[in-house]
């Protein structure tokens, strides 16, 4: 029986930023996935990063938005084959786990927002200060059944950022929500309330976005590790 494989895309260049240690995130995810029995490869984002890669069992995106500099790593045309290959995998049903700043990634390819089920929108999206938080599980369907990724969780206790006012696509199913209270919202009173931070996108394949994972403190959370373990199990069961 062929081994299941995971490909982690770690942001660099136009998909890295000074606020997130994508190498550390990729390492934490690789450790978790190997413990679950997957063969893991980590690739930095580059125009040719996917040229010699067959479709993996699971695609993991740990990339964001960085320096879009044609002289540094190519113009948008140079990246088209990378995005076409990634989008082709998603269209063929390769499951996707996208982490944290992935909501900011691949802005040069509008297909990514539809695949992910939402995006960070500059000037609208934000987050309260990083710190301890207890997030609510909200993954029940109309029949009251929990989604498998959160079926055994009552809450997610984590030290992390809580992304707020993300733009969600129709058909997204929220699994975990963050509550923003008035004292946190400051001059954004419309933001008070529940905001999805983990969701499942409509498809065509299985796609789960997890807005948690700012740094190692998040991946050290037993609740977050349990969420990721269950999420990977669900993604690979499709």
Are 169 and 114 a contacting pair, CB within 8 Å? yes
Question: Strand ranges (DSSP E) for the chain?
Answer: 5-10, 39-44, 58-62, 96-99, 118-119, 131-137, 155-160, 167-168, 173-180, 193-200, 207-210
Confidence of residue 144 (pLDDT cuts 50, 70, 90): confident
Tokens describing residue 84: 């076409």
CA-nearest of 138, 160, 147, 137 to 213 is 160
Distance CA(4)–CA(184), nearest Å, equals 43
Residue 20 structural domain: 5-236
Total domains present in the chain: 1
Cα 47 from Cα 138, distance rounded (Å)? 38
Query: What is the C-alpha end-to-end distance of the chain, expressed in Å?
Result: 17
Whole-number pLDDT of residue 204: 87
Per-residue pLDDT at 169:
96
CATH of residue 228's domain is 3.40.50.880
pLDDT tens-digit map of 102-141: 999 999 999 999 999 999 999 999 999 999 999 999 977 8
Examine the pLDDT at 238 and tell me if it is beyond 80. Answer: no
Paired tokens of 107: 């802005």
> Cα–Cα distance between 12 and 203 in angstroms, integer?
27
Give me the DSSP letters along 71-82: HHH--GGGGHHH
Compute the average pLDDT of residues 33-62. 96
Asked if pLDDT for residue 214 goes beyond 80, the answer is yes
Rounded Cα distance, 151 and 137, in Å? 9
- At residue 1 the predicted structure's pLDDT band, cuts being 50, 70 and 90, is very low
What CA–CA distances, in Å, run from 112 to 142, 143, 205, 206?
Answer: 28, 31, 13, 14
Among 25-29, 32-36, 64-68, the least confident range: 64-68
Q: Is the pLDDT of residue 14 over 80?
A: yes
pLDDT at 2 over 80: no
């Amino acid at each position: 029986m062929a081994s299941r494989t995971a490909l982690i895309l770690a942001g660099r260049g136009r998909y890295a930023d000074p606020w997130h240690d994508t190498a550390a995130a990729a390492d934490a995810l690789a450790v978790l996935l190997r413990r679950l029995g997957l063969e893991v490869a980590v690739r930095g984002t580059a125009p040719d990063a996917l040229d010699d890669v067959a479709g993996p069992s699971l695609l993991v995106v740990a990339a964001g938005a960085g320096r879009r500099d044609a002289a540094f790593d190519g113009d948008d045309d140079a990246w088209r084959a990378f995005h076409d290959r990634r989008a082709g995998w998603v269209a063929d049903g390769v499951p996707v786990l996208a982490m944290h700043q992935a909501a900011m990634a691949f802005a040069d390819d509008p297909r990514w927002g539809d695949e992910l089920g939402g995006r960070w929108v500059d000037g609208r999206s934000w987050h309260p200060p990083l710190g301890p938080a207890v997030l609510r599980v909200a993954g029940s369907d109309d029949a009251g059944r929990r989604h498998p990724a959160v079926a055994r969780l009552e809450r997610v206790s984590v030290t992390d950022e809580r992304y707020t006012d993300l733009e969600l696509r129709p058909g997204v199913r929220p699994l975990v929500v963050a509550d923003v209270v008035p004292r946190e919202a400051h001059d954004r009173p419309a933001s008070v309330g529940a905001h999805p931070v983990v969701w499942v996108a409509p498809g065509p394949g299985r796609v789960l976005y997890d807005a948690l994972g700012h740094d190692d403190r998040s991946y050290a959370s037993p609740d977050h590790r349990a969420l990721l373990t269950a999420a990977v199990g669900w993604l690979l069961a499709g």
